Amino acid sequence: MEIKEQIALRAAAIEEIIKKYLPKETGYQKTVIEAMNYSMMAGGKRLRPMLMQETYRMFGGKSEVIEPFMAAIEMIHTYSLIHDDLPAMDNDEYRRGRKTTHIVYGEAVAILAGDGLLNLAFETAVGALEIEPENHNIARALQILSARAGIFGMIGGQTVDIETDRTKEVTREQLDFIYRLKTGALIEAAMLIGAILAGATKNEQSRISEIANCVGLAFQIQDDILDVTSTEEVLGKPVGSDEKNGKATYVTYEGIEKSAEDVARLSQDAIKKLQALVVKNEFLTELLSFLIHREK
């Protein structure tokens, strides 16, 4: 079976898992719930829950305890996209080929929908304790999820991204910081949580973090490349926005050719480290390569 078909099958199964944790659209707060669900079901690669699930499986995990965390990390990712698209941030009208949440529901409801998803994410993740109440690894997984989503993770990276956009040109050191936190933190959280919940050793967890950091950086550099080389029809969102907004990216510093070389190098490094592990997951290896070198 082709890798695209395997990804599609797994994404469809993940979609069903996510649906189980979405709130019903009832009550006086129905509008914000509709906006939350609109954003959650807008499609997407389901990359983070997929990486989490496959890492969990690689280390021998077989329980449903991983599922609340899979839903939770996608909720956190989606809330960040809702807020990224707002006029105060990137001011985008399209995401994944359709109108962004604030265009459909207005800015106020979009902000609340993002807030709602962030809170729902932790409510959902804590539900893992109902599945395995004596699993001490759940506490560590919650700690990772919290830290990588917060000021020392995704939000920290986003803050520096905004500040450098508005006040000064971004330095290369700041750019690396932004990429490591804004994009890489949740990818690291996904793979690390999968390893932790499956009972991976400290050394194995450390290796997974290294792999995830390579993947996160390569993923973001490829995003920069696609912003220059792809089309709106393929990406499902506007292209050329970085250049139009005068925003420095990896491509700005290194150019297309060197950026592509670095994506290949980081990809090979991640896969080499993954294959050096005693445990194996052939699909995960193929998935990392495919996602890093994606066309959208």
Q: Which two tokens stand for residue 253?
A: 């510093």
As a residue count, the chain comes to 296
In the predicted model, is pLDDT for residue 138 greater than 90? yes
Determine the pLDDT at residue 289. Answer: 84
Number of independent structural domains in the chain: 1
Query: How far apart are alpha carbons 184 and 175 in whole angstroms?
Result: 12
pLDDT level of residue 234 (50, 70, 90 thresholds): very low
- The values of phi and psi at residue 21, to 5°, are -105, 0
Please state, in angstroms and rounded to a whole number, the distance separating the CA atoms of residues 77 and 153: 12
Mean pLDDT of 204-215: 96
Instruction: Indicate which CATH number applies to the domain containing 113.
Output: 1.10.600.10
Q: Which residue has the higher pLDDT, 236 or 209?
A: 209
Please report which confidence band the pLDDT of residue 296 belongs to, taking 50, 70 and 90 as the band edges. Answer: low
Q: Which domain holds residue 156?
A: 3-292
Residue 139 is predicted with a pLDDT of: 98
Distance between CA atoms of 185 and 154, rounded to whole angstroms? 6
Angle at 134 between CA 128 and CA 138, to 5 degrees: 45
In the predicted model, is pLDDT for residue 108 greater than 50?
A: yes
The predicted model scores a pTM of 0.91
Retrieve residue 246's tokens.
């005068």
**In angstroms, rounded to a whole number, what is the distance separating the alpha carbons of residues 220 and 126?**
30
Phi, psi of 208 (to 5 degrees): -65, -40
DSSP conformation letters of 120-186: HHHHHHHTHHHH-TT-THHHHHHHHHHHHHSTTTHHHHHHHHHHHHHHSPPPHHHHHHHIIIIIHHH
How distant, in Å, are the alpha carbons of 8, 17, 176, 231, 263 from that of 227?
Answer: 24, 31, 18, 8, 15
- Comparing 107 with 91, the larger pLDDT belongs to 107
